[in-house]
Structure 1
C-alpha cells in the first residue's frame, strides 16, 4: 500500500514540478508583454501583474514538494555532513517530523481560510474580481503535498536507521 501512495505522490510531484516550470515561463512572458504594452504603447494591461502574482504563488507552492523530493531545498549541513550516515538519516527523520507537523498545520489553516473565503464570497480588490479561494488553493495543495513528501522521507529514513537489510539483519 505504501508503495502505491509513494508512487502516486512522486508522480504527482513530478507533474507539478514540470507544470511549475512552465508556469514560471508563462509568468515571464506575461510580464514581458506587460512591459512592452506599458513602455512602448503607453497602454498597460489590467490583468498581467495580478495574474503573474497568482501564477507565482501556484508555481512556488505546487513545486515545493518536487523540490523536497529531489533533495534540492536549502539545507545547512556544515556539522551534519561530518556525522555517520546512520546519524544523518536519524536527524533527517527527526527534522522531517517537525517539517511534516508544520506543513500539516499550514494545510489545515489553508483549508479553513478557503472555507471562509468561499463562505464570505471573497474576491480580489481589483477590476478582475478573482475569487480568492483560487489563489488560496495553492497554499492548501502545496503544503498538503509537502506533508505527504515529508511522510515519505520519514518512512525512508526510519527504514534506513531501524529497518532490516536484504539478509534480514538489523542495519
Structure 2
C-alpha cells in the first residue's frame, strides 16, 4: 500500500479517537445541564433552556462519537455467517457494505450542508419558548457525518489492504 494511504488511515483514526473521547466526556456537561434543570424545577422557576440544550448536547454526543464507536467496533453486526468467514472474505464483504454506507453518508452530508446553508442564510430557529438558532447544531451534524465518512474510507483502505494481503 502507498505510504500516504497508511498515513491517512492512521491520521483519521487518531482524529476520530480524540474527538470521540472528547464527545464521551461531554456527557458530564449534559448531566450538569439536566441536573440544573431538575433542581430549578423543584426549587424555583423552571428554566426554559435546559431541555433544548440537553437535546442539542445529546445530538452532538451521538454525531461526534459515531465515528469513534465505529472505530471501536461498537456497531451492531449480524454474526450469523460473518464469524465463520475467512479474514479475506470478511474484508471483501466489509468493503462492499462500506461502499454502500459511504453512498448513504454522502447523501446525508449533502442534505445536511443544504440544511445548514438554509439555517445560516435565514437565521432558522427552533420552535418553542427559547427558540435557539439551528445553525450550530446543524454544523455539528455535518462535522459528525464528515468524521464518519473519513472513518469509513479508512476502513475501506484497510479492507483493500487485507484483500491484497497487506496489514495496516
TM-score, length basis structure 1: 0.88
Bigger mean CA offset, 126-135 vs 53-62: 126-135
Q: 2:107, 2:69 → 1: CA distance? A: 20
Q: 2:165, 2:22 → 1: CA distance? A: 37
1:73 matched residue in structure 2: 75
1:12 aligns with 2:15: yes
Of 86, 99, 111, 1:97 maps to 99
Contact 2:5 / 2:157 at 8 angstroms: preserved in 1? no
1:1-171 equivalence runs, <5 A: 1-39=4-42, 41-161=43-163, 163-165=164-166
Contact 1:101 / 1:147 at 8 angstroms: preserved in 2? no
What is the aligned residue count? 164
Mark the CA change 1:158 to 1:165 in structure 2 (over 3 Å): closer, same or farther: closer
**Unpaired runs of at least 5, structure 2:** none
Aligned structure 1 segments of 4 or more residues deviating by more than 3 angstroms = 126-129
Structure number with the bigger relative contact order (C-alpha 8 A, sep ≥ 6) is 2
SS of residue in 2 equivalent to 1:129: coil
SS of residue in 2 equivalent to 1:63: helix
SS of residue in 1 equivalent to 2:91: helix
Shift of 1:52: 0.4
RMSD over aligned CA atoms reads 1.7
